[in-house]
Chain A
Amino acid sequence: MGTVRSLLHWRSLRWKIALLVAVACGAIALTVGLLVHRSTYERSVNDGAARAFSVLDTALGSTNPDDASGLVHDPAQMPPELVREARAHGEAHVFDESNQYRPEMWASRKLPDGQLVAVSVDMTPDQLSRAALDRHMWKYSLLVLAVVVPLSALAAELPNRRLRRVARTARRIETGDLDARTRMRGRTGDEVAEISVTVDSMADSLRDRLLSEQRFTADVAHELRTPLMGLVTSAELLPESEATDLVRDRVQVLRTLVEDLLEISRLDAGVEHAEPRPVVLAEVVRESLARTGLDARLTVNNAPAAAETDPRRLDRILANLVINAHRHGSGPVEVTIEGTTVVVRDHGPGFPDSLLAEGPQRFRTGTAERGRGHGLGLTVASGQARVIGASLGFSNAAGGGAVATLRLPSTDATHT
């Protein structure tokens, strides 16, 4: 089905090349045709004139009255042009096409007594054979076009196929397959080879950059988490006291901060890939809210029976939104599922204007709340939403309060 559709795709390069070939062929055929038509016409006129004069001379030299019967003596019956020419030059011939169905060739001589005598010859057979020639030329030109145009479309298919391969590779690279290559270098020296070599080298440098970025992120992760692990475990070993609680609280904050930062750098490096599977959206959201341990009222309006998403990432997004609502807004926090859209709303002062204008920025929280949280939660939520193909929008409710709207891709779209 796809091949047929792509074959019929009229804006395809294939048909453009075929059209070009058709126009070029048509132009050549038209030029040659016109030249042939013209020279045949001229030859036919010359032959006709010679024939007419020979008929005239035969009639004048003959004593047989039958031969003389075709002679015209009355200038009024002759074409005026013939009369004028014959009077001026002594003899003349004119091709009279005034009657479309019976063209005639006139020949005339001025007799020694000054009288004009003329004869006309029927040129219909000539006209018919010329028309037949024209028809043939048309027919064979069209026939050749009918063969050449599909052939050139087929011939254009070869570079076309290579171009499509380049496009396919580029698309695969775009979707994150960094090992995709066209592998067409050096086969032909044309522009398609050039673009495929360029795509390949672009993919190489892209992969190198990404790999070094990933390595750096992983090294940073190792360097940060190793001391943190010692700290976390040691803090657990401390005897219970008020001071221990303070230490543990700060260790927890530090741990969350490090994990958020590492998550953001992984998201920035583009190394995160969703693992979608069919889930019951309402259930995932309910469990996710329960795990936060925070108050949130869940309302479900006509949720689809099954959605396809990555539940771990969805959980990260929801947890961050709800925690943010509690930290920077105030209760009650309301979570609403409408189809595949999840809305988290609080009743606090709403999102600051800068966030509404520019989206979440790292470490930028409302000035009033500075010091409470690090402003990474919403950045993480936005990044994770991108990974699962969802959009996360921020707005403020009319009655006050921040509204975060998470639109998951609809299930229908993921199946087509």
Chain B
Amino acid sequence: MSHAAPAVGPGASTPAPVTILLVEDDEVIRRSVAMALERYGYHVIAAGDGLTGLELFREGRHDLLLLDVMLPGLDGIGLCRRIRETGTDPILMMSARGDALDVVSGLEAGADDYVVKPVDTAVLVARIRSLLRRATFTPTAAGTGGRADQAGSPGRLDQSGQHIQSGESGQGQQHARLVFGELAIDTGGLEVSLSGEPVALAPTELRLLLEFAANPGIVLDRQTLLRNVWDYGWDGDTRVVDLCVQRLRKKIGAERIETVRGFGYKLRR
């Protein structure tokens, strides 16, 4: 991952605050959301249009991007696409229209999640936290939700798995190399490669792939994925799952993740 988790910053006794890059053209929203997030302990840098947002993004001081869809000049979807050309930074979109045009295009462009305005600060913060958890979990930081799943999975896979090789046997459960045909996942270094070439995955895509890799050949329904990857309760939008699977397929090969009509998806061994 390109950006380090603030929590494990070197020599920080008081952890540096998480910095959020907010790109929003409505001034009232920009200022009030910035103030509200600062109350929750985040540091906010804000831009009023897409191009300024892109400049601030290139300065690289942020940990997470919060993008409005409708922006003057370069809009949020275009901005999201530009960011995804080079980076895997966590991106949360805010849509006021909330229709398929905004939501689907935003997710297609590579956003990890979206919220519809007006949104309560508590809900927004919950989405930001969930996204940061996905973006910042590290192989050594045991005990997070992500680690717990992974620690369990390699052992289970080794017992059943014809296709799975345990990479470094000395480290055993903690670090495993899962191989599915051309696709190799290092659950320790969190590196994914396809035919030997490294693949850059956005945080949600990586988290989703790990979820599939922990249950190879097993059908995972959208609700389960929404709960385990996005931390949604009962009311998540299943389009988030579908579009993230689409993006993941583009990067690791379409045939690797199979659609089980009416149920969900499964990783082909």
Contacts and interface: CB of A to CB of B under 8 A. Distances in A.
Interface in B108-129: 116-121
A13 B70 CA distance: 54
A233 B96 contact: no
B208 to A, nearest CB: 20
Interface in A200-257: 214, 217-219, 221-222, 225-234, 236-237, 255
A271 B223 CA distance: 23
Contact of A229 (B35, B97, B117, B234): B117
B28 A230 contact: yes
A260 B119 CA distance: 15
Contact of A226 (B96, B101, B121): B96
A357 B120 CA distance: 39
A327 B124 CA distance: 30
B221 to A, nearest CB: 8
A123 to B, nearest CB: 80
B197 interface: no
A193 B101 CA distance: 35
Interface string B150-181: 00000000000000000000000000000000
A177 interface: no
Given A218-B101, A221-B96, A221-B99, A312 B118 contact: no
Nearest to B34: A233
A236 B99 contact: no
A222 B96 contact: yes
B26 interface: yes
A287 interface: yes
Contact of B29 (A219, A230, A236): A230
A353 interface: no
B106 to A, nearest CB: 14
A230 B36 contact: no
Given A221-B97, A233-B29, A228 B121 contact: no
A229 B29 contact: yes
A233 B235 contact: no
B28 A218 contact: no
A232 B119 CA distance: 8
A236 B121 contact: yes
Contact of A222 (B33, B70, B221, B234): B70
A329 interface: no
A interface SS class: helix
A360 interface: no
A242 to B, nearest CB: 21
Interface in A4-49: none
B118 A222 contact: no
B118 A228 contact: yes
A219 B101 CA distance: 12
Nearest to B239: A275
A219 B235 CA distance: 25
Interface residues of B, number: 26
A226 B117 contact: yes
B97 A222 contact: yes
A383 interface: no
A401 interface: no
B29 A226 contact: yes
B96 A229 contact: yes
A277 B264 CA distance: 11
B144 interface: no
B238 interface: yes
Interface in A329-383: none
Nearest to A255: B118
Contacts of A227: 26, 28
Looking at B36, B39, B118, B120, which has the most chain A CB atoms within 10 Å of its CB? B118
Contacts of B96: 221-222, 225-226, 229
Contacts of A228: 117-118
A237 B99 CA distance: 28
Interface residues of A, number: 26
B99 to A, nearest CB: 5
Contact of B234 (A225, A230, A287): A287
B97 A230 contact: no
A289 to B, nearest CB: 13
Contacts of A225: 96-98, 116-118
Interface string A275-318: 10100000000010000000000000000000000011001000
B52 interface: no
A183 B32 CA distance: 53
B59 to A, nearest CB: 26
A25 B238 CA distance: 62
B119 A229 contact: yes
B222 to A, nearest CB: 8
A232 B118 contact: yes
A311 B235 CA distance: 9
B239 to A, nearest CB: 9
B82 to A, nearest CB: 23
B165 to A, nearest CB: 37
A311 B233 CA distance: 13
A339 to B, nearest CB: 23
Contacts of B33: 233
A36 to B, nearest CB: 66
Nearest to A287: B234
Interface in A166-222: 214, 217-219, 221-222
A227 B27 CA distance: 10
Contacts of A231: 118
30 contacts: A214-B99, A217-B99, A218-B99, A218-B102, A221-B98, A222-B97, A225-B97, A225-B98, A225-B116, A226-B26, A226-B117, A227-B28, A229-B96, A229-B119, A230-B28, A230-B29, A230-B32, A231-B118, A233-B33, A233-B36, A234-B28, A234-B32, A237-B35, A237-B39, A255-B118, A277-B223, A287-B234, A311-B234, A312-B235, A315-B235
Interface of A: 214, 217-219, 221-222, 225-234, 236-237, 255, 271, 275, 277, 287, 311-312, 315
Given A221-B99, A230-B29, A287-B234, 5 more contacts: A221-B97, A225-B97, A232-B118, A233-B36, A315-B235
